Amino acid sequence: MDIKISAVLNTINEEKNIDRALKSVKWADEIIIVDDGSSDKTLEIAKKYTKRIYKHKSAGYVEPARNFAISKAIGEWILLLDADEQIPTSLADKLKEIAQKMRGIGYVEIPRKNIIFGRWMKASMWWPDFHPRFFRKGKVVWKDEIHSKPQLLGEGIKLEAEGDLAIIHYHYDSLTQFIGRMNRYTTIQAEELIKAGHNFDWKDLINKPLGEFLGRYFANRGFEDGLHGLSLSLLQAFSFLVMYLKLWEMEKFADQEVSLTDLKEVSKKANLEINYWFKYGNLSKNPFKRFFQKAKNRVT
In this prediction, residue 62 has a pLDDT band, given cuts at 50, 70 and 90, of: confident
Note whether 60 and 114 are same-domain residues: yes
Would 294 be classed as within a structural domain? no
In this prediction, residue 58 has a pLDDT band, given cuts at 50, 70 and 90, of: confident
Would 293 be classed as within a structural domain? no
Note whether 275 and 179 are same-domain residues: yes
131, 133, 165: which is closest to 5 by C-alpha? 133
Note whether 125 and 225 are same-domain residues: no
**For residue 98, what are the contacts with CB-CB under 8 A and spacing of at least 6?**
105, 108, 134, 157
**Mean pLDDT of the 99-116 span:** 95
In this prediction, residue 143 has a pLDDT band, given cuts at 50, 70 and 90, of: confident
**3-state secondary structure (DSSP) of residue 253:** coil
Q: Which of 154, 171, 188 is the last residue of a domain?
A: 171
**3-state secondary structure (DSSP) of residue 170:** strand
CA distances from 65 to 25, 44, 145, 146, 252 (A): 20, 20, 11, 11, 31
Would 298 be classed as within a structural domain? no
Q: Is the pLDDT reported for residue 289 higher than 70?
A: no
Note whether 132 and 80 are same-domain residues: yes
Q: Which of 125, 141, 171 is the last residue of a domain?
A: 171
* Structural domain boundaries enclosing 23: 5-171
Pick the more confident residue, 284 or 57: 57
Note whether 160 and 253 are same-domain residues: no
**For residue 213, what are the contacts with CB-CB under 8 A and spacing of at least 6?**
233, 234, 236, 237
pTM of model > 0.75: yes
27, 269, 222, 18: which is closest to 126 by C-alpha? 222
Note whether 255 and 275 are same-domain residues: yes
* Residue 297: predicted pLDDT: 55
Note whether 277 and 162 are same-domain residues: no
* Residue 139: predicted pLDDT: 95
> What mean pLDDT, rounded, does the chain reach?
92
Would 270 be classed as within a structural domain? yes
* Residue 285: predicted pLDDT: 62
pLDDT tens-digit readout, 71-98: 999 999 999 999 999 999 999 999 999 9
Q: How far is CA 289 from the centre of its chain?
A: 31
Would 178 be classed as within a structural domain? yes
Note whether 107 and 201 are same-domain residues: no
Note whether 148 and 271 are same-domain residues: no
Would 160 be classed as within a structural domain? yes
174, 182, 300: which is closest to 246 by C-alpha? 182
Q: How far apart are CA 251 and CA 228, in angstroms?
A: 35
Note whether 58 and 159 are same-domain residues: yes
Q: Strand 151-152 vs strand 53-55: parallel, antiparallel, or unpaired? A: unpaired
Q: Which of 144, 171, 198 is the last residue of a domain?
A: 171
Pick the more confident residue, 143 or 33: 33
Which domain CATH number covers 40? 3.90.550.10
Q: How many domains would you assign to the chain?
A: 2
* Residue 144: predicted pLDDT: 75
Q: Is the pLDDT reported for residue 104 higher than 80?
A: yes
Note whether 215 and 84 are same-domain residues: no
Q: How far apart are CA 2 and CA 29, in angstroms?
A: 11
Note whether 127 and 186 are same-domain residues: no
Q: What are 48's strand-pairing partners?
A: none
Would 95 be classed as within a structural domain? yes
Would 16 be classed as within a structural domain? yes
